[in-house]
Structures are given as C-alpha cells and as structure tokens.
Structure 1
Amino acid sequence: MSQGPIATEAAAPTTPIGGDSLLRKVAADRLALLGLVLVVGLIVVAALAPWLAPYPDQGRGTPDVASANLAPSGAHWFGTDQLGRDMLSRVLMGARPALLISISVVMGAALIGVPLGAIAGYRGGWIDEVLTRITEVFQSFPPLLLAMVVVALLGPDLKNAAVALVVSWWPWYARLVRAEARSLRERPFVAAAEAIGVPARTILRRHIVRNSMTPVLVQATVDIGTVVLAAGSLAFIGLGAQPPSPDWGLMVAEGRSQIFTAWWISTFAGLAIFVTVLAFNLLGDSLRDVLDPRKVRR
C-alpha cells in the first residue's frame, strides 16, 4: 500500500469556491460526477443498510446453517456464505463500518498531522527539525506494516485497527501541510499580520491552516477509499474486524478457501471494496483539478 501527499507546495492562498460553483464544476466532469454519485450512493447505503438488507439479522452475523453456500438466486441475490448468511445483507451492512472507520482514521490523522505540519512549516528552526525528524521516523516504515505492528501490540479489533491506521497515516498530512506552510509564511499577507503584532497562534489558524485546507481536502477524499482498503487488508489477515462483524475484508478472507466452489462469498465483498476505492479516487482527483488554482483546464 502506498500513499503520499498529492500536493507539496502552495503557489498562492486558496481561493474559496462557493458550493454551487464547485458542484457545477464537478457536474461538468463525467468521471467526477460518477465518483460523486457513487459516494452519495455509498453513504445512503451505509445509512439505510438495516432497512435495505433483506436479512438484516444474518447481515449482522446470525447463522442459518441450513442455507450454507447457496449460489446467487432470486432468494439470495449474492448467495450465502459457509454459515448460511445472506451475502447481500452482509455486504450492505458492511458499508457502515467501512465508511465509519475510514472517515474516523482520516479525521484523526488530519487532526494530528495538520497542526504539527503547520507549526513546523511556519516556525522553522529547531521546531521544524524535531518535528520533521519524528515524521520521517514514522514514514520510514511502510504504512500497512506499521499498522500491523501497532495492532499486534494492542490486540486484533476494529477500534485498535483504526488507532493503528491513524498512527501510520498522520505523517503524510504533516508533510503536506508543512510544505504549504513553508510557502505561505513568505507571503505578504503573513508578513503584514506579523508586522501589526498579530499573535503567532492566530496567524497559524487564520492564514496558515486555513490556506492549507485545499490539498488536505483532496488528500482526505482520496484517503477515505485507501483506508477502506487498508482496514480490509488488516481484517483479511486477522488483525482488524473479528467475526461475526460484517466487514468486507473479513468476508474476502472467509471465502478465500472456497473461491473455486463458492466464488460469490469473496467476490461481492471484494467488489464493494473496489467500488468504494474507485469512487473516492475519482472524486478526489476531480476536487484536485477544480480547487487547484494552478491547474489549467482545457
């Protein structure tokens, strides 16, 4: 798993774009519109999963061994797993924890990385050196490997997996915002604020952090899908969500031993992960093109 900041330098303060203007620009891009539709659809499914699932109890993990390993049919559109649970219900119920953990991880990583990156980039000197060295230590480990180590120490669990992913994710936001802050601190509006005696914390909040939000927003949008994949990977190897949780990665793991005889167990859960990652990647790329003032669109 690889990841990294999408932008590294700020060429100018972010130009705010109104909500209506942003929606119009996204709607004009077919791929962006597809991503937006898919993301909205995923959110709706996650919110309404208990009512959309044809067998909500089975979706939560209640077995029905008499119906084990049934192929897709009119009664079970996605078939059933080795415990007789309806796979359509399981996939639908799995949308909520997938989105919740991904949003929680991205928010947690941003809450840690953005302030540290802003302070390091704006203050410079020994503060920058110390924070940068700490960030580099964390980035010296592959993110998924670091997450695996943290989960192994805390114990296999969905919440612990979220904590582990935050630990491995925040350095990317710190590096991203640090680069933005280093550029912004040389801008005339920052120098003017310093000249009239505006406190450093106010400059950080109003000028540095606020004008760094565009690349952070883009990075966070893409990362939501990537975290879904990472959380699924941890569940696949037994370090994330535990049975009978309706976790997509766990479903893929449960069906791998029967991939040739009951292919539907892993396939539909894997497709759910694929669609989620694709949706947020499409939306994130579109936001980058729309919000980047340096981007020349043809």
Structure 2
Amino acid sequence: MTATTALPAFVPIGTRPLGRIGRVLRKDRLAALGLALIVLVVILAIFGPWISPFPAQGYGATSVPDRMLPPSTVHWFGTDQLGRDILSRVIIGARPALTVSLLVVAIAALVGIPLGAIAGYRGGWLDQVLMRVTEIFQAFPPLLLAMVTVAILGPSLLNAGLALAICWWPWYARLVRAEARALRDRPFVEAARAIGVPAWRILPRHILRNCLTPVLVQATVDIGSVVLAAGSLAFIGLGAQPPSPDWGLMVAEGRGQIFTAWWISTFPGLAIFVTVLGFNLLGDALRDFFDPRQVKR
C-alpha cells in the first residue's frame, strides 16, 4: 500500500456524487426541507435590501403613525413600537445573522483544526499541553464565557462574534484530535512516514483530508447554533445594539408586549427557529451522505 491510498472516510462512495445527492434529497424529505430553508435564508441575506417592502425601516427608520399595527396586507408581519415594518427587519436581519455565524465557525475551525491535528498526530507532551488548554476553555459554560468576554470588550455584534469564536474553537480541536489519533496508525500514514514524507506534508494530505467529513457536519450544525447563541446575547443586551435589525434584539424589544402585540417578538423568533432547523436538518443529511455504511453497493 502506498502513501496515495484512497481516502474512504472523505471521498463519497460512488462515481456520481451529484446523482447521490439527488437520490438522498428525494428519499429524505427532511434533508430537502433543511436545504430549502437554508436556501431561503441565504436568498434573504443576499437580496434583502432589494426584496424587503420597506428597506429604510428595516435599517431603523421610524414611522410613528404606523406604530403597533397588527399583521395586514400592507405590513404582513405588523409593525413595532416605532412603526417599523417587522417583515423588512426580519429579511434584512438575515444578513448579519448569517455573516456572524459563518465568521464565528470559520474562526473556530481555523484555530481548532490545526491544534487538534497537531495534538492528535504528534501525541506526547505536546498533546497533553494543548488538550489541557482546551479543557480550560471547555470548563466554562460557553454562553457564560461569551457573556463575560462581551462584558469586557463592550456590547456589539462584532464583539459578540469574537466572544463566541473564543468559546467554539475547543470543540473543533477535540473533534479533529480524536480523528487524527485514529488515523496516525493507519497503513497509508505509516507508508508515508516510511518513505520519508515529512510531518508537515502528512498532516494536510493524509490527516486533515480524512477529518473533513466530521468537521463539515459539525460546522453545518454549528452555524445554526451560533445564530441562536448570537440571538441570545442580543436578547440580554450584549450583542447587536439598537437600531440594528438583529433577530434576538427584536425578540427582546417585543417581550414587554407579548400579550398585546405578539407579532413583534413572534416573527423574529420564528426566523431564528427556521434558520436553526434548516442547518440542523442539513447537518444530519450530510452525515448520512458521507457515511459509507449508508451507501448501497
């Protein structure tokens, strides 16, 4: 066996992966639903300013005569205490929600994946040191650590994203470390070492490539989780600040009128729910898609 042995844990089995995707979506209606929800949210994030009915109100412009209007044919989701169209704010709020979530997951992965791969492949004292540092971060509840970090840095959407990235990277480090430890004694890795391939080439070509499947699944689910966490920070005043069209902030602004003007909090909350549901369903579908045991030979 040579160092270029196929990588069954990463490469989808079958000669037509696009056809497999189509078959999975036809058979798994939940996966199709998750993909449809994510596509919808992405479209809103990209084209929100052009498809929202009242884009100026989406960014914070007020209309006092229209305050607290219930859902109607003019304002489908109603208006808030300042007369702003809630549908427009929900649509425009998709962009910062997705942007922050993608940045948090990207930063967490860029920090955690190399550390986990090095720790798992090298082992020894380096593994012990890196894992002890990781455990220090994991010893704190993630949301509590994020709250403390934002309180130090100051409440804002950017600081909330940085705080969540600090909380999220240890999970990628431990995930990749476990995969690297399982892979470092595989025959194709030993063959690469035997012919003199240096570690700095083995790590990306043979270790990290075979870790991409669980990382991809975890990252997909984490995008939805970060949307929920960022909304939670905004809800308690430690995330996006008014008049930002943040979903969590919108829920907080309407909680005092939940029984008299239920639409102010309900529709932003549903936006969070739909986004998290879509990424969770897609993550489950990706896990099944890349699992060789799910493929009929």
Please say whether Structure 1 and Structure 2 have the same fold, judged by a TM-score greater than 0.5.
yes
Q: Contact 1:117–1:178 at 8 Å: present in 2 too?
A: yes
Q: Match of 2:58? A: 59
Q: Match of 1:144? A: 143
Q: Match of 1:287? A: 286
RMSD: 1.4
How far off is 1:41 after superposition? 1.1
How far off is 1:293 after superposition? 2.3
Q: Contact 1:14–1:293 at 8 Å: present in 2 too?
A: no
Q: Match of 1:253? A: 252
Q: Contact 2:24–2:289 at 8 Å: present in 1 too?
A: yes
Read off the aligned partner of 2:69 and give its amino acid letter.
L
Q: Match of 1:80? A: 79
Instruction: Return closer, same or farther for 1:112/1:25 CA change in 2, 3 Å cut-off.
Output: farther
How far off is 1:65 after superposition? 1.2
Q: Match of 1:162? A: 161
Q: Match of 2:199? A: 200
1-side partners of 2:182 and 2:55: how far apart? Answer: 52
Q: Match of 1:236? A: 235
Instruction: Return closer, same or farther for 1:201/1:168 CA change in 2, 3 Å cut-off.
Output: same
1-side partners of 2:170 and 2:91: how far apart? Answer: 32
Partner of 2:237, secondary structure, is coil
How far off is 1:13 after superposition? 3.4
Read off the aligned partner of 2:289 and give its amino acid letter.
V
Gaps of 5+ in 1: 1-10
Q: Match of 1:20? A: 18
Q: Match of 1:278? A: 277
How far off is 1:75 after superposition? 1.1
Cα deviations across residues 242-271 of structure 1 (Å, max 9, x unaligned)? 000000000000000010111100000000
2-side partners of 1:71 and 1:213: how far apart? Answer: 47
Instruction: Return closer, same or farther for 1:135/1:12 CA change in 2, 3 Å cut-off.
Output: farther
How far off is 1:295 after superposition? 4.7
Cα deviations across residues 178-220 of structure 1 (Å, max 9, x unaligned)? 0000000010000011011111011001111111000000000
Partner of 2:53, secondary structure, is coil
Alignment of 1:104-115 (within 5 A): 104-115=103-114
TM-score (norm 2): 0.94
2-side partners of 1:35 and 1:255: how far apart? Answer: 28
Which has the larger displacement, 245-254 or 35-44? 35-44
Q: Contact 2:49–2:55 at 8 Å: present in 1 too?
A: yes
2-side partners of 1:13 and 1:289: how far apart? Answer: 12
Cα deviations across residues 129-174 of structure 1 (Å, max 9, x unaligned)? 0000011110111111111111111000000000000000000000
Partner of 1:138, secondary structure, is helix
Instruction: Return closer, same or farther for 1:127/1:295 CA change in 2, 3 Å cut-off.
Output: farther
1-side partners of 2:179 and 2:51: how far apart? Answer: 44
Q: Match of 2:4? A: none
Q: Contact 2:12–2:292 at 8 Å: present in 1 too?
A: no
Read off the aligned partner of 1:13 and give its amino acid letter.
A
Q: Match of 2:3? A: none
How far off is 1:296 after superposition? 7.1
Q: Percent identity?
A: 70
Partner of 1:219, secondary structure, is helix
Q: Contact 1:252–1:267 at 8 Å: present in 2 too?
A: yes
Q: Match of 1:68? A: 67
Q: Contact 1:39–1:280 at 8 Å: present in 2 too?
A: yes
Read off the aligned partner of 1:246 and give its amino acid letter.
P
Q: Match of 1:185? A: 184
2-side partners of 1:286 and 1:40: how far apart? Answer: 15
1-side partners of 2:23 and 2:184: how far apart? Answer: 30
Read off the aligned partner of 1:203 and give its amino acid letter.
I
Q: Contact 2:31–2:285 at 8 Å: present in 1 too?
A: yes
How far off is 1:24 after superposition? 1.9
Q: Contact 2:213–2:290 at 8 Å: present in 1 too?
A: yes
